[in-house]
């Protein structure tokens, strides 16, 4: 059973400034991943993940993930 994963890059609260969306690989698998950008100093990124099930009605769970990226 596939659980669609949606990610939203929530730029405002983090310290990493970029308007480009994050490319998440294997979004419909149990272990999704992405390549961290290169940074000159530690930066934080906030990403909101949303997973929707296939029930009736479909239910969606949201979770904010705070990622710290080191040089």
Question: Within 13 Å and on the Cβ side, how many CA atoms surround 64?
Answer: 8
Put residue 26 in one of left, alpha, beta given phi > 0 → left and psi -120 to 50 → alpha. Answer: left
Q: Which tokens is 17 given? A: 């400034």
pTM of the model: 0.70
| Mean pLDDT rounded to a whole number for the chain | 82
Q: Could you give all domains of the chain from N- to C-terminal order, each with its CATH number? A: 5-69 (2.60.40.10)
Question: Within 13 Å and on the Cβ side, how many CA atoms surround 46?
Answer: 9
Query: What's the confidence (pLDDT) of residue 1?
Result: 47
27 Cβ contact partners less than 8 Å away, ≥ 6 residues apart? 4, 5, 6, 7
Query: What's the confidence (pLDDT) of residue 70?
Result: 94
pLDDT at residue 3 is higher than 60: no
* Residue range 21-38, pLDDT digits in tens: 778 888 777 788 888 888
């Amino acid at each position: 059973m596939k659980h669609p994963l949606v990610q939203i890059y929530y730029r405002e609260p983090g310290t990493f400034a970029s308007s480009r969306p994050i490319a998440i690989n294997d979004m419909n698998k149990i272990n999704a991943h992405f390549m961290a950008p290169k940074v000159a100093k530690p930066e934080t990124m906030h990403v909101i993940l949303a997973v929707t099930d296939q029930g009736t009605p479909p239910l969606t769970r949201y979770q904010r993930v705070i990622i710290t990226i080191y040089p």
